[in-house]
Structure 1
Amino acid sequence: MANIDSGIFSSYKRNTDLFDELFDENGSIKSVYQELFDLYGAHSIKDYVNLNDKAKASFFNQGITFQVYGKNETQEKIFPFDLFPRIIDSNEWEIIEKGSIQRSKALNLFLWDIYHEKQIIKDGIVPLELISSSNNYLHQMMNLDPPGGIYNHISGTDIIKHSDGNFYVLEDNIRCPSGVSYVICNRTALKRALFGVFNHYKTHTVTDYGENLLDLLESVKPKGVDNPVCVVITPGMYNSAFYEHSYLAKTMGIELVQGSDLFVENDFVYMKTIRGPIKVDVIYRRIDDLFLDPLEFKPDSALGVPGLFAAYKKGNVTLANAPGTGVADDKAVYTYMPQIIKYYLDEEPILNNVHTYHCSRPDELKYVLEHVHELVIKPVDEAGGYGISIGNKLTKAEIENVKKQIKESPRKYVAQPIMSLSVHPTYIDKSESFEQRHIDLRTFTILGKDKEYVLKGGLTRVALEKGNLIVNSSQGGGSKDTWVLKN
């Protein structure tokens, strides 16, 4: 058994009831971590604090920030980053990668079907009411064929490892999944601070994401276009993920625009430049559906482009991800993912679903109301960890309030057992020591015309508060560099 009684890990306390990524079932350091453990253990806490400060300075100098929206104010924060990386060996990664691609393909086929023939509904696999009651189902997308047949060009799949050692998907994100820029910046910061350590492992690169994303966007160009002009559209600098929008545009070598930089003429989209208008063919959009076009959706939206959706319907511009994809990352639809995968691909799911209760079903509603104290309650259409209630953390009064909210709008809520996310050694500033903290993994899958790709790393998110199971940055979480090892 490895000695953790000296060096920077000397105060690390291991709760054996939790699945610790560093240790095996016998309490020994896992072989993939042994060299890393030894290299880190050679540093003193003072050395590590200096390295940690160096990494923070790297994030600050690069402007790597995000916005947190509170009740009374909005704050811009440097993205918290922990220097002790997570390692995933090639065998585990193969499962994650294949499972992520499988889900993305199935969701794309599901979206095509529900906006066309609705065969899965006719065959009684998914109920019509589930789709028709979704706030993210856009009737404007009915019978519209997106270029290349792709809806969810970029998917973010949130995966945990449970205390049983198996992977589970918590949710699928296919509207505008964020966080990939932090994956790349985490790697850059770690290599700057600890190049000697990083050099001891054969790790897949994560810096090729921009290249692959641009290839994807170009693969779904409108018909008749040889050399597509691609842009990233952002709501602006006050958006929580603005750093990511600007970073991705820069790494792809394309323009970052706002709605006011574009206009539509004769159902074609143009970008204003000092050299005159330039036709735009592909838009990677980081604006929500209802703000895309004030002529089609919210008439008071100042973020979108008047006439954009008409140009899209004519096939003159590609929008990635396609409007209306949000219906498929509705957490109520998630409950049907095993059936959706089987229906479209005739395969068993590679990654497990967490058992999920949908409160619109009377029998499941009854169970949830009786067991709120031992469940996680989630709104079906929120992101960023907002609106989640973890039953065993609630007071009696809070439980009663959650019950009231569920009863008022059962369709809006799902519930899941409280899953025991795996833990990972994480440096905590307050205690100046390493402690167990819960983590998850967001993978980023790209689907294009005859193209599929999963970023070999993903975003490991870490809940920095002790015992917290919500890892989102908006809820006080941070991240780690994720090393996927080569064979």
Structure 2
Amino acid sequence: MLNKYQVGSFYDEMMNDDGQPKNHYESFYDLIRQLSDEELREKHETAQLSFLRQGITFTVYNDAGGTERTMPFDFVPIIIPEEQWAKIERGMKQRMKALNYFLDDIYNGQEIVKDGIVPEDLIRDNPNYYEKQVTGLEIPLRNHIFLAGIDLIRDEHGEYRVLEDNLRNPSGMSYVFQNRYVMRQVYPELFFKHSIRTLEHQFKELHGALISHAPKNTLAEPCAVLLTPGMYNSAYYDHVFLAQQMGIELVEGRDLIVKDDVVYMKTIRGLKRVDIIYRRIDDDFLDPEAFRPDSALGVTGLLRAYRKGNVAILNGIGNGVADDKAMYAYVPDMIRYYLDEDPIIKNVETYFLRDPEQLEYVLENLEDLVVKNVGASGGYDMLIGPHSTEEERSAFRRKIIETPSQYIAQPTIKLSRAPAFQNDEFYPCHVDLRVFVMNGATSHVLPGGLSRVALKKGSLVVNSSQGGGGKDTWVLAGGGMNHA
């Protein structure tokens, strides 16, 4: 089956241009060739069923045919050699450090604005900027980003680039572990031949980072909870999994109450004080007293307790000002400004449509560019120029002219590809990688991450809500056998 595989004009994760596997994929390639077509089909089916049996689903809100779906899984892993991973790790830690300094600065002195690096209106007019709620707060460790999910892609030269920063409520970490679990169950022979960085102690790291945010007024052993909007949220499986693995309670807003500016959890034994809330609820819904009065998901008085230093809220309130698609273009400048270093992993080149020259260029070259709404996510309100019709481009042209600051544009990157086994054949699919960074007293990068794959032939959209799937991600470990 692999003999028919065409590399094409894209950077391929597994294969060289001559149709031979890259060095770090050789033993995997040899093993696959030993499996019969029937064995491959069987293993593919078993993997999909494993996700179904464990109830690993996500919700698609605009899907008329029912909302629950399992994430399609592809068994060809993304394998990353040790030295490449070391560079990613350094790049992610550098980026998080600068973004955290930026958030701390924006909600305090705004030096970066005074020094003319970031335009003031980009912050002031940002819908995710919570000046009156967050300014001047003393927060534990001065750390706004407990868990980040940074999306990386590889360009046509095989260079990693940052596509997006997710600093609010990044989801998908549970899939990293489930992909690994399924690979170990269904393809044990593949693991036996590889030395792979383990995921085994990662929840200890995550829990340690969480607990290190205990606020100054914590009286005893800190109590942490995960606050979820509930079972109808698209990432609910993620919430359940993370709470279980960290050994913390999963709560909804109605399970918490604020008394005398202290947060308590209702239990069958009475009220229990809560010190740390890892919330998976958007800022606007956190506290009806401080944000949206109609929110049924939040906890009344939560912000008062936060201001008094009686509870820590992770990730920080107002983080959205730093991971907005318009602010993304300034992250390399932030790295230079706060750390006096050049970015280890670069951004994708980005056009700012508030700049008249760049706007003119973009309007004239829509068929070659990708245009994104700075406030949207999940692949929505986005134009992929080369795959668009004249009609779609006209509609986008009107939207851009109406509110240019609402959009950014980027060149159509030749996203790297990797083989995927679907419909009884191997064919090349575009991939990206979400890397998870945990920040507490120290910074730690989860080895590997969530490789997302655009399973529809020719598609560039990897989001699960738009037909994408997942792959296991192996970081090769130097020396010694390690069964991941």
Tell me how far apart the structure 1 counterparts of residues 2 and 15 of structure 2 sit (CA, whole Å): 13
One-letter amino acid of the structure 2 residue matched with residue 289 of structure 1: D
Could you say what secondary structure the match of 1:419 adopts? coil
Tell me how far apart the structure 1 counterparts of residues 88 and 461 of structure 2 sit (CA, whole Å): 21
Equivalent residue, structure 1, for 2:482: none
Q: Which among 205, 224, 232 is matched to residue 198 of structure 2? A: 205
Equivalent residue, structure 2, for 1:4: none
Tell me how far apart the structure 2 counterparts of residues 231 and 107 of structure 1 sit (CA, whole Å): 25
Equivalent residue, structure 1, for 2:449: 458
**Displacement, 1:207?**
3.5
Aligned sequence identity (%): 47
The question of whether the paired residues in 2 share the 8 Å contact of 1:45 and 1:433 is answered with no
Could you say what secondary structure the match of 1:385 adopts? coil
For the pair 1:184 / 2:172, whether they are aligned, the reply is no
Equivalent residue, structure 2, for 1:386: 380
Q: Show the 5 A alignment for 1:346-357.
A: 346-357=340-351
Could you say what secondary structure the match of 2:148 adopts? strand
Equivalent residue, structure 2, for 1:56: 48
Could you say what secondary structure the match of 1:415 adopts? strand
**Displacement, 1:383?**
1.8
Equivalent residue, structure 2, for 1:166: 159
Q: Which among 204, 208, 225 is matched to residue 215 of structure 1? A: 208
**Displacement, 1:9?**
1.6
Equivalent residue, structure 1, for 2:263: 269
Could you say what secondary structure the match of 1:336 adopts? helix
Q: Deviations along 1:361-388, whole A, 9 cap, x unmatched? A: 2221111111111110111122222222
Q: Show the 5 A alignment for 1:84-483.
A: 84-139=76-131, 140-225=133-218, 226-429=220-423, 432-449=424-441, 451-483=442-474
Tell me how far apart the structure 2 counterparts of residues 208 and 298 of structure 1 sit (CA, whole Å): 39
Tell me how far apart the structure 1 counterparts of residues 217 and 137 of structure 2 sit (CA, whole Å): 18
**Displacement, 1:227?**
1.2
Aligned residues: 476
Could you say what secondary structure the match of 2:10 adopts? coil
Give the ranges of 4+ consecutive aligned residues of structure 1 lying more than 3 Å apart after TM superposition.
71-74
One-letter amino acid of the structure 2 residue matched with residue 343 of structure 1: Y
Q: Give the direction of change, closer, same or farther, for the CA distance of 1:257–1:119 in structure 2 (3 Å limit).
A: same
**Displacement, 1:145?**
2.1
The question of whether the paired residues in 1 share the 8 Å contact of 2:348 and 2:410 is answered with yes
Could you say what secondary structure the match of 2:112 adopts? helix
Tell me how far apart the structure 2 counterparts of residues 316 and 406 of structure 1 sit (CA, whole Å): 45
One-letter amino acid of the structure 2 residue matched with residue 460 of structure 1: S
The question of whether the paired residues in 2 share the 8 Å contact of 1:311 and 1:317 is answered with yes
Tell me how far apart the structure 1 counterparts of residues 311 and 393 of structure 2 sit (CA, whole Å): 48
**Displacement, 1:10?**
3.2
Could you say what secondary structure the match of 1:69 adopts? coil
Q: Deviations along 1:326-354, whole A, 9 cap, x unmatched? A: 00001111111111000001110000111
The question of whether the paired residues in 2 share the 8 Å contact of 1:356 and 1:414 is answered with yes
The question of whether the paired residues in 1 share the 8 Å contact of 2:7 and 2:17 is answered with no
One-letter amino acid of the structure 1 residue matched with residue 374 of structure 2: V
Q: Deviations along 1:107-158, whole A, 9 cap, x unmatched? A: 0000000110000000001110111111100011111122110001111111
Equivalent residue, structure 1, for 2:481: none
Tell me how far apart the structure 1 counterparts of residues 440 and 112 of structure 2 sit (CA, whole Å): 23
The question of whether the paired residues in 2 share the 8 Å contact of 1:294 and 1:304 is answered with yes
Tell me how far apart the structure 1 counterparts of residues 228 and 65 of structure 2 sit (CA, whole Å): 22
For the pair 1:10 / 2:39, whether they are aligned, the reply is no
**Displacement, 1:45?**
1.7
Tell me how far apart the structure 1 counterparts of residues 63 and 124 of structure 2 sit (CA, whole Å): 32
Could you say what secondary structure the match of 1:486 adopts? coil
Tell me how far apart the structure 2 counterparts of residues 28 and 42 of structure 1 sit (CA, whole Å): 16
Could you say what secondary structure the match of 1:56 adopts? helix
Tell me how far apart the structure 1 counterparts of residues 342 and 17 of structure 2 sit (CA, whole Å): 28
Q: Deviations along 1:447-484, whole A, 9 cap, x unmatched? A: 112x1100001000000111211111111100100000
Equivalent residue, structure 1, for 2:32: 40
Equivalent residue, structure 2, for 1:3: none
The question of whether the paired residues in 2 share the 8 Å contact of 1:289 and 1:324 is answered with yes
**Displacement, 1:26?**
4.4
Could you say what secondary structure the match of 2:59 adopts? strand
Tell me how far apart the structure 2 counterparts of residues 209 and 68 of structure 1 sit (CA, whole Å): 29
Q: Give the direction of change, closer, same or farther, for the CA distance of 1:27–1:53 in structure 2 (3 Å limit).
A: closer
Q: Give the direction of change, closer, same or farther, for the CA distance of 1:197–1:482 in structure 2 (3 Å limit).
A: same
Tell me how far apart the structure 1 counterparts of residues 301 and 173 of structure 2 sit (CA, whole Å): 30
**Displacement, 1:46?**
1.2
Tell me how far apart the structure 2 counterparts of residues 73 and 427 of structure 1 sit (CA, whole Å): 25
**Displacement, 1:24?**
2.7
Tell me how far apart the structure 1 counterparts of residues 466 and 171 of structure 2 sit (CA, whole Å): 15
Q: Deviations along 1:50-80, whole A, 9 cap, x unmatched? A: 1111111211111110011217576110111
Tell me how far apart the structure 2 counterparts of residues 207 and 387 of structure 1 sit (CA, whole Å): 38
Task: Report the TM-score, using the length of structure 2 for normalisation.
Answer: 0.96
**Displacement, 1:14?**
2.4
Q: Give the direction of change, closer, same or farther, for the CA distance of 1:282–1:331 in structure 2 (3 Å limit).
A: same
Tell me how far apart the structure 1 counterparts of residues 65 and 408 of structure 2 sit (CA, whole Å): 29
**Displacement, 1:224?**
4.0
Could you say what secondary structure the match of 1:94 adopts? helix
Task: Report the TM-score, using the length of structure 1 for normalisation.
Answer: 0.96
- Between 1:451-460 and 1:365-374, the stretch displaced more is 365-374
Q: Deviations along 1:294-353, whole A, 9 cap, x unmatched? A: 000010000110111111111111111011000000111111111100000111000011
Tell me how far apart the structure 1 counterparts of residues 186 and 392 of structure 2 sit (CA, whole Å): 44
One-letter amino acid of the structure 2 residue matched with residue 220 of structure 1: H
Q: Show the 5 A alignment for 1:73-84.
A: 75-84=67-76
